[in-house]
Amino acid sequence: MQAFVTVGSTKFDDLIDTVASEDFLTRLSANGYTRLVVQYGKSKLRLPFQGETSHGVEIIAWQFKPSLSEEYLAADLVISHAGSGTILEVLRLNKRLIVVANETLLDNHQRELADALSTQGHLVSSTVSSLPQALESIATMKVVPFPPFDGSKFARILDEEMGFI
């Protein structure tokens, strides 16, 4: 199985350091994952030898790609920063998702979004320090499928605002 970690275009060193830790890699392997793909953005890369196996997990890392869609599709689990675009794209693919809000950002709206979606059963919201334990939670969680996009809701609101209905 494959896990994919993404920090987007930001710097999120704490998340990268955690997914490179012995505790995390050991738990990832214990949960059946044999491959870890990491998109590290502007973070410092401190992962073990790329392409090598560490704690039974092959690690592949890169900074940026034009699109992450292929990575989302290939992954059995996505671990992501709490960017709303990333969250929605992954949830619409019905992938298991752990969201880690970057607590160093100014306005912590990311934590609010992650916690709300976690409460609804769509994902697991985690802190960097509790990420190894979040692997256990997502493995046993019955994930509530995210509702498909319905553009008619927006159209109805727009029509109401414009006075058409």
- Per-residue pLDDT tens, the chain, 165 aa: give them: 999 999 988 889 999 999 988 899 999 999 999 999 999 998 887 655 566 778 889 999 989 999 999 999 999 999 999 888 899 999 999 999 999 988 877 566 778 888 999 999 999 999 999 999 999 999 999 999 988 877 776 677 777 878 887
Q: Which residue has the tokens 């029509």?
A: 159
Determine phi and psi for 30, rounding to 5 degrees. -65, -25
Into which CATH architecture does domain 2-162 fall?
Answer: 3-Layer(aba) Sandwich (3.40)
Among 145, 89, 86, smallest CA distance to 110 is for 86
Contact predicate 134/116, CB 8 Å: no
What is the domain partition of the chain in residue ranges? 2-162
Contact predicate 69/121, CB 8 Å: no
Q: What is the pLDDT of residue 138?
A: 94
Encode pLDDT of 91-135 as tens digits. 999 999 999 988 877 566 778 888 999 999 999 999 999 999 999
Among 7, 54, 63, smallest CA distance to 34 is for 54
Q: How far is the C-alpha of 49 from the C-alpha of 143, rounded, in Å?
A: 33
